[in-house]
């Protein structure tokens, strides 16, 4: 067998069979304090693909951070074949401030591939695309819903990318959702490099939901096993993912107090009351009804809404074997 070479990353050589913690230095605070992002690399003695586990692209999305932390703590990130790179917290600024964005208000996932001398967020994106992304074969990027939007555990991919769609099916979250690639997103940039990419969404910001963490970890294990990187004694999901090709946001027709009437992830029939909106003085109450038969996979849990606010994301079912739905940011 051909001798395995060291893995070269950020000016360091990781020998076969070794796990190393590196530091990605991107910028400095106004106090001249460097911002350092820990990067954990496990390089197996045997040849295989390179998998990146990424979380904290938005600093307030904690479920993904906890998922990778637990993978590292249990030693599950160490492959028998190939290499695993773990970046538990990418947007360290947002993580420190419990914020989605960078200090300048920019969303890191809207500035890729970035520029060397651009905004702070753009510099982060540039360094990632220069130093990390080219070395990977597969990227699993872990997210949650923004603000009070709660995402039922789901993976997203552009279904025209057959390889990434297949990996989403292997990951086997409860929902697999077709999602077109957004301009200037990390997904758009890495897919241009012909990398396979899985976007996982589960839970909401600034919360740890252990059931979501468990789904993420099980999915990562399934993908690693499918790639022959490591064997895990893991049960298959009780049912295959519900495939969503098209979706629609259900928006508030009135401003007022929102009361939810269904559970996230539920199947609802057309015309079913899924929420009510009322004023706080008992003057009116309006029903929010499902506009079609389908699944709810995102719920806005904020109790006070304005007219036009997104309340639910629903996927339409067209056939039993090809249950139809889609889209999300």
What DSSP string runs through 79-128? -SEEEEEEES-S-HHHHHHT-SS-TTS--GGGSTT--TTS-HHHHHHHHI
* CB within 8 Å of 300: residues ≥ 6 apart: 148, 149, 150, 258, 309, 310, 311, 312
The half-sphere exposure of 178 on its side-chain side, counting CA atoms within 13 A, is 17
pLDDT averages per 10-residue partition of the chain, 329 residues:
87 96 84 87 97 97 98 98 98 90 89 92 93 97 93 94 93 94 93 94 96 98 97 88 92 96 96 97 95 96 95 76 38
The pLDDT value given to residue 1: 56
In this chain, the answer to whether the domains covering 7-226 and 245-316 adopt an identical fold is: no
Q: Which two tokens stand for residue 43?
A: 């390089």
Q: Which two tokens stand for residue 5?
A: 């070479």
Q: Please give the DSSP secondary-structure letter assigned to residue 132.
A: I
What are the pLDDT digits (tens) for 98-111? 899 988 889 999 99
Q: Which two tokens stand for residue 165?
A: 């769609």
Structural contact between residues 82 and 227, judged by C-beta atoms closer than 8 angstroms: yes
Structural contact between residues 80 and 49, judged by C-beta atoms closer than 8 angstroms: no
Which CATH class for the 245-316 domain?
Answer: mainly beta
Q: Please give the DSSP secondary-structure letter assigned to residue 158.
A: -
Domain borders along the chain are 7-226, 245-316
The pLDDT value given to residue 320: 39
Fold of 7-226: Aminopeptidase (3.40.630)
The pLDDT value given to residue 264: 97
């Amino acid at each position: 067998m051909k001798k395995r070479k060291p893995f070269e990353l950020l000016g360091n050589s990781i020998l076969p069979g070794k796990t190393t913690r590196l530091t990605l230095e991107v910028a400095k605070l106004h106090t001249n304090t460097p911002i350092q992002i820990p990067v954990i690399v496990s390089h197996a003695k045997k040849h295989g693909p390179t998998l990146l586990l990424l979380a904290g692209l938005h600093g307030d999305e904690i479920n993904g951070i906890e998922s990778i932390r637990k993978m590292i703590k249990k030693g599950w990130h160490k492959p028998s074949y190939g290499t695993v790179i773990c970046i538990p917290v990418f947007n360290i600024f947002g993580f420190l401030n419990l914020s989605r964005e960078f200090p300048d208000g920019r969303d890191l996932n809207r500035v890729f591939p970035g520029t060397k001398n651009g905004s702070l967020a753009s510099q982060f994106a540039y360094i990632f695309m220069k130093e990390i992304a080219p070395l990977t074969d597969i990227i699993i990027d872990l997210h949650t819903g923004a603000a009070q939007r709660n995402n039922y555990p789901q993976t997203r991919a552009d279904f025209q990318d057959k390889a990434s769609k297949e990996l989403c099916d292997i990951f086997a979250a409860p929902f697999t959702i077709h999602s077109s690639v957004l301009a200037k997103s990390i997904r758009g940039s890495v897919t241009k490099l012909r990398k396979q990419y899985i976007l996982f969404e589960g839970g909401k910001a600034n919360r740890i939901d252990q059931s979501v963490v468990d789904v993420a970890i099980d999915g990562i294990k399934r993908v690693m096993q499918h790639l022959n990187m490591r064997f895990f004694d893991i049960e298959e999901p009780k049912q295959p993912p519900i495939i969503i090709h098209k979706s629609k946001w259900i928006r508030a027709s009135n401003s007022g107090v929102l009361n939810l009437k269904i559970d996230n992830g539920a199947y609802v029939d057309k015309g079913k009351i899924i929420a009510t909106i009322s004023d706080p003085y008992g003057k009116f109450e309006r029903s929010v009804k499902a506009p079609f038969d389908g699944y709810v996979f995102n719920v806005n849990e904020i109790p006070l809404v304005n007219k036009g606010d997104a309340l639910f994301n629903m996927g339409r079912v067209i056939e039993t074997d090809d249950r139809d739905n889609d889209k999300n940011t």
